[in-house]
Homo-oligomer: A and B are copies of this chain.
């Protein structure tokens, strides 16, 4: 059996890669939310001086990378690889940012699970001895996502209560083999799970079974329990998906309720900000992790975190063809101070 694999889906690093620095850029609405003080850049205009929302999103991703590299006290040319993806067709945000940055580039797509996917692969490539530094980054943008996945904004479409609000945000993390900062100790890679949800306005319910599968397999593979963690945080299941996850995980014999939260619920104040079931998008777990969670870890307020970014693998074509929505979730264990 592979030397660094434990159980069916989990890898344990012998020399855990370090998250040396992070950078975040978010939109105006996210800047009005409860996490406002944790973000590096809050835009006053979601066009960010560009001619389209797509180019604005790409600029957010690029600038978040630059912030993270600057804080890591490194140069762009020090980065061996960039692991990155976004929600736009053909990764338009990421591809154009990767062009401007010039870092050897692996394009990823895992819908909203992409942040954990990028951290997982980045950590493996570092620990495997193929790189000294990598950057893991994702983005999403409410306006570019709405018009691609749903309706033109001008249409003023009514949103059902189960709908989530795509976060305008980007989070980037510089990972290295050495340095100070929280470390990635384990990675549990998700399988695609599909229990038959077809409603593109209820992605939390579509993604929850994938989150549950990954969480349960993570516990089984590692021997960890809910109280092994100070925080277990899913990517962006929102109100609906979070409840389903709590219950399904409880059914399997693990009570995570005391330490469990969701990035989609942390980023907005749903009552005041009218974001219905909560935030979503690649940029949701990216900005919440790289902003709030990372900074709380650096302040020693959190020590052991399980980040499970969750993705709904739907496309407008699959929905129009009447297909269900497959989900996926990737989990990463991040520890600030390792024991012993």
Q: Is B117 within 8 A of A1, CB to CB?
A: no
With A and B bound together, what is the CA distance between A191 and B100 in angstroms?
10
- Residues of chain B contacted by A107 (CB below 8 angstroms): 85, 108-110, 117, 313, 328
A36-89 at interface with B (beta carbon < 8 Å): 51-52, 54-55, 80-81, 85, 88-89
CB-based contact B323/A131 at 8 Å:
no
Query: Does A31 reach chain B (CB closer than 8 Å)?
Result: no
Oligomer copy total: 2
Across the interface, do B4 and A189 meet the contact criterion of CB distance under 8 Å?
Answer: no
Are A95 and B130 in contact, with the CB atoms below 8 A?
no
Count A-side interface residues using an 8 Å CB cutoff: 63
A193 surroundings in chain B (CB, below 8 A): 99
Min distance, Cβ A47 to any Cβ of chain B, angstroms: 13
Q: Is A29 located at the chain interface by the 8 A CB criterion?
A: no
Give the docked Cα–Cα distance between A54 and B88 (Å): 19
Interfacial chain B residues near A191, Cβ < 8 Å: 98, 102-105
B130, A90: Cβ atoms closer than 8 Å: no
Given A54-B321, A108-B109, 11 extra CB contacts under 8 A: A4-B130, A54-B317, A85-B109, A88-B317, A96-B326, A98-B328, A102-B192, A105-B189, A105-B191, A105-B192, A105-B328
- Please give me the 8 A-B residue pairs with the lowest Cβ-Cβ distance, nearest first: A128-B128, A90-B315, A95-B313, A99-B192, A104-B189, A3-B129, A98-B192, A107-B109
